[in-house]
Amino acid sequence: MTITKHEVGGYKDRFWYPRFWDGMTLRAWLKLLHSGGYRVAPIRWAMAVIITGLAIFANSPFALLQRLVYGRRIRETKLVGPPIFILGHWRSGTTLLHEYMILDERFTFSDTYACFVPEHFIMSRYVLRPIAALLMPTKRPIDNMEAGFDRPQEDEFALTSMGLPSPYRNLIFPNNKEKIDVDYLTMRNLTDAQRKTWLDGLDFFLKSLTFLTPKRLVLKSPPHTARIRTLLERYPDAKFVHIHRNPYSLYPSTHNLWMRLARDEGAQRPNGEGMEEYVFDSLVRMYEAFAEDVPLLKPGQYCEVAFKELTARPMETLEKLYRELDLDGYENVRPEVEKFAASQKEYKKNKFEIASELKQKIADRWTWYFDNYGYEK
């Protein structure tokens, strides 16, 4: 079904740009290759060689060194208050909301460098980061949002780089018909041991972030939208803020996101087969779990905002968020919110035109989302 896109941002891929897999240790990288049957297309052999070299000569040695020097101290680190998780479907405005929330100097976050090299970002921060930063594009691949190793990033990429199961691992083998780690979107069909292993990995990464910058964490990863129940097992007092957006904007933008990432990050040239169904099914499964889990949250633990509300009235929206999550000190951060909001006035979004039959399918497949958040079909 037809989507016509009018992109106004992003970058043109270059072979030297960092990939999600560049920070993997050799063990994690070989595990990822094995999960995809080693189906690396000849056009991507050079990429695979670069990642393998980085795994052998940079990531594995630095990861070992960090464990030896800081491992015990990281494990003993206590989080500074319950984490705050930003939830929402891909392309719903989670990144923009994250940018607003980390304006509060009392909070810290997972920056892009930490997510690229999660097992040694403390040890290598002043050695490898300056070199890698020279190769980093200034924009994200799919829009006008700024990119850079100091910008906030999804902790899901850190978990993926650590070798933990994640639906994101399918990006490297987009043409494989058998998808891996699909149950790790909702964590519903996992054993207690599998869920504990995943939570232990997340916890170690959050402790590493806190060890480096001892402040309260604000985290953003769309897959966490379907994992509230699991996250509460480890962080029972965590706070959650959810952002939603018009589904007619979500679908084409998400489809474009996965195709672009598969093209830039994949070990195969994506043929797009099955992508439409993947986008439709992911939202359905995500929000089935989300709807079941939200009632578990107590007053002061959950807040909901709309993307349109955030972009039209950012100061009022952030004030509501602070109030409903029982976060004090909004007046102190309000000047920074106003300044950042002013900088966003000239921001240009990608525009998509979608065929009428696809619009109808979006309305039919995502009925719950339309009805629950009051969007017109």
> What's residue 149's pLDDT?
86
Q: Which residue pairs from 177-186 have beta carbons closer than 8 angstroms and sit at least 24 positions apart in sequence?
A: 177/274, 179/278, 180/35, 180/36, 184/223, 185/223, 185/226, 185/282, 185/285, 185/286, 185/289, 186/226, 186/227, 186/285, 186/286, 186/288, 186/289
Q: Which of 211, 177, 170 is nearest to 71 (CA)?
A: 211
The C-alpha torsion from 205 through 238 and 145 to 17, rounded to 10°, is: 10
> Whose CA is closest to 203, among 225, 243, 235?
235
- What's the domain count of the chain? 1
Q: What CATH number does residue 34 fall under? A: 3.40.50.300
On whether the CB atoms of residues 266 and 171 are closer than 8 A, the answer is: yes
Question: Does the residue 1 lie in any domain?
Answer: no
Token pair in block for residue 58: 């940079």
Residue 2 lies in a domain: no
Please state, in angstroms and as integers, the Cα–Cα distance from residue 171 to each residue in 260, 261, 268, 334, following that order: 10, 7, 9, 39
Does residue 247 belong to any structural domain of this protein? Answer: yes
Residue 74 phi, psi dihedral angles, 5° rounding? -65, -45
Q: Is residue 209 within 8 Å of 78, Cβ to Cβ?
A: no
Q: What is the distance, to the nearest Å, from the Cα of residue 183 to the centroid of all Cα atoms in its chain?
A: 17
In a domain, 332, yes or no: yes
Cα–Cα distances (Å) from 172 to 20, 109, 163, 225, 276, in that order, read: 9, 26, 13, 23, 18
Q: Please report whether residue 6 resides in a domain.
A: no
pLDDT in single tens digits along all 377 residues of the chain: 566 655 555 566 666 678 899 999 999 999 999 999 999 999 999 999 999 999 999 999 999 999 999 999 999 999 999 999 999 999 999 999 999 999 999 999 999 999 999 999 999 999 998 888 777 766 656 555 666 789 999 999 999 999 999 999 999 999 998 899 999 999 999 999 999 999 999 999 999 999 999 999 999 999 999 999 999 999 999 999 999 999 999 999 999 999 999 999 999 999 999 999 999 999 999 999 999 999 999 999 999 999 999 999 999 999 999 999 999 999 999 999 999 999 988 656 667 789 999 999 999 999 999 999 999 99
Residue 272 lies in a domain: yes
Distance CA 8, CA 259 (A): 17
261 is a domain residue: yes
Query: By residue range, what is the domain housing residue 247?
Result: 12-373
